[in-house]
Amino acid sequence: MLRINRETDYGIVILSAMARSPGERFNPSRLAAAHGLPQPMASKVMKQLVRAGLLCSYRGAKGGYGLVRDPGEITVAEIIEALEGPIAFTECVEDGTGSCNHVDGCTAGAIWSRVSSVVQRALDGVSLAEMARPAEFPVTVYPVQVQWATDGGCAGPVSADPAKLKLIDR
Amino acid sequence: MLRINRETDYGIVILSAMARSPGERFNPSRLAAAHGLPQPMASKVMKQLVRAGLLCSYRGAKGGYGLVRDPGEITVAEIIEALEGPIAFTECVEDGTGSCNHVDGCTAGAIWSRVSSVVQRALDGVSLAEMARPAEFPVTVYPVQVQWATDGGCAGPVSADPAKLKLIDR
DNA sequence: CCCAATCCGTACCCGATTGGTACACATTGC
DNA sequence: GCAATGTGTACCAATCGGGTACGGATTGGG
């Protein structure tokens, strides 16, 4: 085991697809159809990704979802955390106390948090861009050709840090 | 999420306790009582650990379970694999095909297997001895004071590799 | 030789989580 | 105003994790 769950898996697939045509708007139904995954699941996942600040949503006709940041700036760690909460092997690690509330004489806490942080770093080191086109990596810079949605189109309820938005103009 | 399950957690606790008095025999009931975990669970876990070759069992009166190898030679990775199967974030990684059977255009396989192997290595780097006494590490050699059960006491159905048994004599 | 202590295997149960669905509502473009 | 879209909530079914029960096999000791 030690699996990521299906929702997260779908999330990666969806975001990868979006990363391959960044700047475009996508709607869940078409994405689901294109990649053979259940349509309501796609909706569910994308909604969650909006809440996490990785996607922004445009409502109404001709609406859809768009990436908030450069795929090269989004890490797999972020995606996993967005879809299944903090990366922690055990509860002790997650609640941060480091000591075990349940079992007498459990000395594992220190080690688990060490292991968790290794995993964290591993996942931090992989970008969405890499996920989307593994064959093209390693590559210094991901070749983005569009302007990012810093123009207010996504300024509303989305809590993305504007400082992190990268504007690429050519 | 991304949790190890409770059974594995119990397994670590039990093995850690055993590692603190290596060479002794332990029975599930007493271990369970000592560490506040459900007795039948302890049995279940220890049985699985026998099947995985990490423990050996002695039947009958005065029976019990014993460690097969030096706690310093047992890795956390082994324990996790014994109790919850191969370490793989996704099915694709586990079945080894590297490509996704379920979703069209899923390019993540290569990355997942890379991430999984990082985790694998992290877990390979932690020994049971370290788990049992984190405060005493880093230390060059774990101070084992007993002779290991290479004397046939555990020779029967246990499939431990004798080449890996370390004999310490003082 | 029998009994008690212990391991072993199997089968079962329950509740939580996961994966998936449905539907009414809000928002926007045309 | 209508159609196309996202939003929120609620729900359902299946699976799985955690936990239990029990009868049998094996061994040591009296």
Average pLDDT by stretches of 10, chain A with 170 residues: 84 92 89 89 93 92 92 92 86 66 70 82 88 62 30 35 28
Max CA pair span of chain B? 62
Highest-pLDDT range among A142-151, B30-39, B70-79? B70-79
Q: Taking residues B125-136, what's their average pLDDT?
A: 80
Contact B114 A126 (CB under 8 A): yes
Retrieve residue A84's tokens.
């299944």
Q: pLDDT band at residue B1, thresholds of 50, 70 and 90?
A: low
CB A8 within 8 A of CB A80: yes
* Segments making up each domain of chain A, as ranges: 6-74+127-164, 86-124
B115 contacts in A (CB within 8 Å)? 76, 122-123, 126
Q: Taking residues B104-115, what's their average pLDDT?
A: 76
Residue of A107, A117, A136, A137 to mutate, testing the B interface (most B Cβ within 10 Å of its Cβ)? A107
- CA of B156 and C1' of D10: distance in angstroms? 57
- For A3, the closest chain B residue by CA position comes to B89
Q: Which residues contact A50 (CB under 8 A, 6 or more apart)?
A: A56, A57, A65, A158
DSSP symbols for chain B:
--PPPHHHHHHHHHHHHHHHSTT--B-HHHHHHHHT--HHHHHHHHHHHHHTTSEEEE-STT-EEEESS-GGG-BHHHHHHHHH-S--SSHHHHHS--S-SSSTT---HHHHHHHHHHHHHHHHT-BHHHHH-GGG-S-SS----S--S-SSTT-SS----GGG------
Tell me which nucleotides of strand D come within 7 A of a protein CB. Answer: 3-8, 17-22, 25-29
Contact B76 A35 (CB under 8 A): no
In CATH, the architecture of A6-74+127-164 is Orthogonal Bundle (1.10)
d(CA B46, CA A14): 42
A2 contacts in B (CB within 8 Å)? 2, 4, 80, 84, 87-89, 119
